Amino acid sequence: MDKQVDVLGYVGLGVTAVGAIASAITGQVLPLSIGSTIGVGCNVFSRKQSEERLIDEFNNQQQRLETLQNTVEVNHGELKESLVMSKADFGNQVEDLKVKLNDRLTNAKDGLEGEIARLSGQAQEIKDIVSNLRQVEILSQELRVKPDSASFFYERGNSHSKLGNISGAIADYTEAINKNQDYAQAYHKRGVLYLDSGAKQKAVDDLRKASLLYFEQGDIDSYHQAREMSKNVHELHHNGNGAKKELVVGAELFS
């Protein structure tokens, strides 16, 4: 293409030169032919320059496109890497959140179970209190009908003891003993309550009496228990605080 343009340019220049020489020889002026020839030459040069500018602009645009493409590829790689890292970070955050939520749920569950257990225990205590109160009322009604029943006094004494009414329980155990002088369990329970209330000598007397009655009635296990407990109380009564731990163990065994 460039060679064709150059040839046309040279032809135009040649025609122009020939026309000038002919005019000089003949002495005739050929303005139209010379002007046309010069115009053709100018047009050829103008087209060449335009095409060169277009080619340069095309090359520049091509370089810009290549630069832009490289920039896009670099940015795409960075963006992709950033997305991968963000995805990994998000995954880690999700896992951490799951762990925290599981821990909170576990703690909440444990707390709820503990609260349920506590409330269940309180409900059972209330149930036991109500049951013992009813038992006291029922036995009181029975004693109105059978006032000489040692077993009714003994059972009501047990209910009073479970309710924490120590004086009421001791009074009922005493009535049971008055109705039945051989009531070993009544002596035993009253001895334990005397011990809890600090009346150590009365506790020793009742426990010794209970152990003797147990032996006479053939209840050997209860005999050994009452005898051992009375021995511990007796040692505490005479030796001060040296056998305090042993006494507490004995009291728990017979409470």
Q: Which domain holds residue 38?
A: 2-81
CA distance readout (Å), 13 to 35, 153, 161 = 12, 150, 140
The two tokens of residue 164 are: 């924490």
CA distance 78 to 7: 53
Q: Name the domain boundary from 66, 81, 96.
A: 81
Q: Name the domain boundary from 81, 97, 112.
A: 81
**Chain segment 51-90, per-residue pLDDT in tens:** 888 888 888 888 888 888 888 788 888 888 888 887 778 8
Is pLDDT of 253 > 50? no
CA distance 11 to 23: 18
Q: Answer whether 167's CB lies under 8 Å from 198's CB.
A: no
Q: Are residues 162 and 249 in the same domain?
A: yes
- CATH of residue 189's domain is 1.25.40.10
pTM of the model: 0.53
Query: Does 207 fall in a domain?
Result: yes
Query: Does 137 fall in a domain?
Result: no
Query: Does 246 fall in a domain?
Result: yes
Q: Could you give the number of structural domains in the chain?
A: 2
Burial, 237: exposed, middle or buried (Cβ in 10 Å; 0-12, 13-18, 19+)? Answer: middle
**Chain segment 157-195, per-residue pLDDT in tens:** 999 999 999 999 999 999 999 999 999 999 999 999 999
Q: Name the domain boundary from 64, 81, 98.
A: 81
SS3 readout for 210-255: HHHHHHHHCCHHHHHHHHHHHHHHHHHHHHCCCCHHHHHHHHHHCC
Is pLDDT of 14 > 60? no
Measuring CA to CA, which residue among 202, 195, 198 is closest to residue 177? 202
Cβ-count burial 24-43 (b if 16+ within 10 Å, e if not): eeeeeeeeeebeebeebbee
**Chain segment 105-161, per-residue pLDDT in tens:** 888 988 888 889 888 888 888 998 999 999 999 999 999 999 999 999 999 999 999
